[in-house]
Amino acid sequence: MKGDYREPNVLPGFGITLGFTTFFLCAIVLLPLSALVLKAAGMDFARFIEVITSPRAVASYRLSFGAAMLAAGVNMVFGFAIAWTLTRYDFPGRKIIDAIIDMPFALPTAVSGIALTTVFAANGWIGQYLEPMGIKVAYTWLGITVALTLIGMPFVVRTVQPALAEVQRDLEDAAETLGAGRFYVFRRIIVPTVMPALLTGFTLAFARAVGEYGSVIFIAGNMPMKTEITPLLIVIRLEEFDYAGAAALGCVMLAISFVMLLAINLLQVWGRQRMTVRR
């Protein structure tokens, strides 16, 4: 079978399923995405640079990146605590908690947006206690971070959970028998084992948060230069019928997506290699 690109197999339907998959993929995903790239490529290069480096665009990148980074960082800490609690401890309601972790996957972003705004507004259930302390959440960058934390949370918990379950307990026992303290065991055995998963979860949460729109626009206040995220700026450009401007910013977002996808793949390869060396 030299020169053949697939290995022999008695099962039928390879040609037709591959053809259908490729066709559907091209029609729904690749053709529209190339329309975006070509639209931006058709722009005058100087104009393209001008659009994507305008002060308003740069302010929006800073906000989108900063808030997404912060939210993913918060999720790394709390996501680890939640994953730890769920895998190591038993307490009443653990199974229910485990099930509702996935809520942000299933809950429409518009719903979480208006719900978070209601809770964190100055007169909301939680906002009323933060307001006297001088902490304003709704309609500030802090609110954006809260919304991005919510939608990124399950990504971290769900990647760290299986990794924590795989930590070899006998290693921990051995270390403790040999006199290691609990913190030493945590630092030298548990953290190295779950690190790839923790970083993957961080990247997944960040990738999701940086492009998020629905849950943010309700709580953000949407002030240009201050609380305006990049996806919102794209929508505004579209509403002004500035298609080229929207496409240019869309290309920046798409480039970020590609970088994130690459980072996730590399992290997973790294994690797998570490696991195989370990055994």
Segment 53 to 82, residues that bind other proteins, using CB under 8 A: 78, 81-82
When the beta carbons of 60 and 141 are compared against other proteins, the nearer one is 60
Nearest to 250 by CA among 238, 241, 262: 238
Tokens representing residue 205 in the block: 């949460």
Which residues make Cβ contacts (< 8 Å) with residue 218, sequence separation at least 6?
Answer: 110, 113, 114, 116, 117
Q: Does 135 bind other proteins (CB under 8 A)?
A: no
Closer to other proteins by CB, 132 or 179: give it. Answer: 179
Scanning the structure block, which residue is given the tokens 């959440």?
A: 137
Ranges within 96-115 binding other proteins (CB under 8 A): 97, 99-112, 114-115
- The reply to whether 129 sits near other proteins by the rule CB under 8 A is no
CA distances from 223 to 62, 110, 134, 211, 266 (A): 14, 19, 20, 18, 37
* List 67, 76, 124, 205, residue binding other proteins (CB under 8 A): 124
Among 176, 190, 195, 221, binds other proteins (CB under 8 A): 176
* Residue 93 or 134 with smaller CB distance to other proteins: 93
| Binding region for other proteins (CB under 8 A) out of 46-54, 55-63, 165-173, 187-195 | 165-173
- Cα–Cα distance measured from residue 253 to residue 249, given in angstroms and rounded to the nearest whole number: 6
Strand, helix or coil for residue 13? coil
User: Should residue 88 be labelled a site residue for other proteins when binding is judged by CB under 8 A?
Assistant: yes
Near other proteins by CB under 8 A: residue from 54, 59, 65, 85: 85
Task: Pick one of 211, 221, 222, 270: the residue that binds other proteins (CB under 8 A).
Answer: 211
234 binds other proteins (CB under 8 A): yes
Q: Assess contact for 150 and 76: CB atoms under 8 A.
A: no
- Cα dihedral 129, 135, 136, 142 sign: negative
Nearest Cα residue to 40 out of 255, 253, 243: 243
Burial label, 93 (beta-carbon count in 10 A; 0-12, 13-18, 19+): exposed
CA triple 241-30-247, angle to 5 deg = 20
Give the Cα separation of 271 and 202 in Å (integer). 14
Nearest to other proteins of 112, 200 (CB atom):
112
28 binds other proteins, rule: CB under 8 A:
yes
Per-residue DSSP letter, 187: I
Q: Closer to other proteins at the Cβ: 29 or 58?
A: 29
Minimum CB distance to other proteins, residue 43 (Å): 12
**Residue 131 per-residue DSSP state:** G
Cβ-based nearer residue to other proteins, 141 or 208: 208
261 near other proteins (CB under 8 A): yes
Site string for other proteins, 177-196 (x = CB under 8 A): -----x--------------
Minimum CB–partner distance for residue 254 and other proteins (Å): 6
Rounded to a whole number of angstroms, the minimum distance from the CB of residue 55 to other proteins is: 21
Among 68, 189, 199, 247, binds other proteins (CB under 8 A): 247
